[in-house]
Amino acid sequence: MTILEQRTHIIKSKSDELGFLDIGISKAEKMEPEAKRLDSWLNANHHGQMSYMANHFDKRVDPTLLVPGAKSVISLSYNYHTEQRQIDSEAPKIAQYAYGKDYHMVIKEKLHEFINWIRSEIGDIDGRCFVDSAPVLERDWAKRSGLGWIGKNTLLLSKKKGSYFFLAEIISDLELAYDHPVTDQCGTCSRCIEACPTDAISTEGYIIDSRKCISYLTIELKDEIPTEFKDQMEGWMFGCDICQEVCPWNRFSKPHSEPQFEPTNKLLHMTKSDWTELTQEVFSKIFSKSAVKRTKFKGLKRNIAFLDLD
């Protein structure tokens, strides 16, 4: 085993210790095909009000602009799947990923621990940690690193682990042994396309119009939700899991083991009437450290009202 392979092996072993679901490594270089696809997607205005997606385009497709001299992109996944559900079947729904503590906080802390460990074991490296908070094409890097393929629902899918996981990266000037992409396994399946109630996924798959996506409508959209979606939300008040729930590969998803992602009893036991009568005080208490805070109390109330639960 070469020094490069040994170094890569101990880094991958450490990711297991820190609780990451999977790890893959790819060469840090400008992403030419991905840049063209992103440009096309933006030109079609599929990003809607997410103007930040068009910002820092060059950095988004070239990791060496984020970390000068970067040689490797370490892609990591972190499981958030849970079999727990809200008790009241008529209550407005929250996507699984937002059940517990904000993943940005949880994973960023682990990433900093990881990179500090790398520095203590290997030496002083230049590197930065990212988790859904910077101009990084996370799914594309994860695909390049062999963590899975980008499915027809545009999420990263793993043959053995499904899709209920967060993605994160460490971009560094450390040279490592690189992994390789895996084959697309969606085949002729079109369950996610057919199940999407707002037709956000293109008929052939692999392209999503965010302006129609329930997650976008309930989180990113700051205006009123267009009336055309009035009877298509299927009870979702924050995010949406439909295209994951119908994906055959998620039969291999296993429950996470991260205590900080556990939902509170209060959240799970909120009834339909509790949600329709939600106050700022209760919102602040339940979601004090939650990703749901992103939509703010006003936004969540808007979403609940739009569902017309009465």
- In order along its 310 residues, the chain shows pLDDT tens digits of 798 999 999 999 999 999 999 999 999 999 999 999 999 999 999 999 999 999 999 999 999 999 999 999 999 999 999 999 999 999 999 999 999 999 999 999 999 999 999 999 998 899 999 999 889 999 999 999 999 999 999 999 999 999 999 999 999 999 999 999 999 999 999 999 999 999 999 999 999 999 999 999 999 999 999 999 999 999 999 999 999 999 999 999 999 999 999 999 999 999 999 999 999 999 999 999 999 999 999 999 999 999 987 6
Please check whether residues 167 and 195 belong to one and the same domain: no
Distance CA 289, CA 300 (A): 15
Taking CA atoms, 275 is separated from 14, 110, 167, 307, in Å, by 42, 33, 30, 11
Look at residue 209 and give its three-state secondary structure: coil
Question: Which position has the token pair 């079109």?
Answer: 190
Please check whether residues 144 and 244 belong to one and the same domain: no
Asked if residue 89 is part of any domain, the answer here is no
Please check whether residues 124 and 16 belong to one and the same domain: yes
Please check whether residues 205 and 144 belong to one and the same domain: no
Please check whether residues 60 and 126 belong to one and the same domain: yes
User: Which pLDDT belongs to residue 3?
Assistant: 87
Please check whether residues 22 and 164 belong to one and the same domain: yes
Is residue 106 within 8 Å of 260, Cβ to Cβ?
yes
Beta bridge partners of 167: 77
Please check whether residues 257 and 110 belong to one and the same domain: no
Residue closest to 78 by CA, chosen among 148, 163, 180 = 163
User: Which pLDDT belongs to residue 133?
Assistant: 80
Tell me which of 172, 206, 233 is where a domain ends.
Answer: 172
Nearest-Å Rg of the Cα atoms of the chain is 20
Asked if residue 95 is part of any domain, the answer here is no
Beta bridge partners of 236: 93
Please check whether residues 167 and 293 belong to one and the same domain: no
Q: How many angstroms separate the first and last alpha carbons of the chain?
A: 65
The angle at the Cα of 69, spanning 178 to 131, to the nearest 5 degrees, equals 65
Asked if residue 245 is part of any domain, the answer here is yes
Asked if residue 90 is part of any domain, the answer here is no
Please check whether residues 128 and 237 belong to one and the same domain: no
Q: Are β-strands 165-172 and 72-79 bridged in parallel, bridged antiparallel, or unpaired?
A: antiparallel
Residue 121 CB coordination number (10 Å) = 11
User: Which pLDDT belongs to residue 76?
Assistant: 98
User: Which pLDDT belongs to residue 308?
Assistant: 85
Please check whether residues 207 and 156 belong to one and the same domain: no
Close Cβ partners of 44 (under 8 Å, ≥ 6 residues apart): 209
Question: Which position has the token pair 């880094």?
Answer: 11
User: How many Cα atoms sit within 13 Å of 125 on the Cβ side?
Assistant: 24
Asked if residue 168 is part of any domain, the answer here is yes
- Respond yes or no: is residue 132 known to be catalytic: yes
Asked if residue 186 is part of any domain, the answer here is no
Q: Are β-strands 72-79 and 22-27 bridged in parallel, bridged antiparallel, or unpaired?
A: antiparallel
Please check whether residues 76 and 199 belong to one and the same domain: no
Q: How many structural domains does the chain have?
A: 2
Please check whether residues 159 and 34 belong to one and the same domain: yes
Marked catalytic residue, from 62, 132, 173, 184: 132
Distance CA 7, CA 121 (A): 9
**Which amino acid, one-letter code, is at 173?**
D
Domain ranges, residue 128: 3-84+101-172
* Backbone dihedral region for residue 48 (phi beyond 0: left; psi -120 to 50: alpha; all else: beta): left
Distance CA 156, CA 149 (A): 6
Taking CA atoms, 81 is separated from 189, 190, 289, in Å, by 22, 22, 19
User: Which pLDDT belongs to residue 310?
Assistant: 66
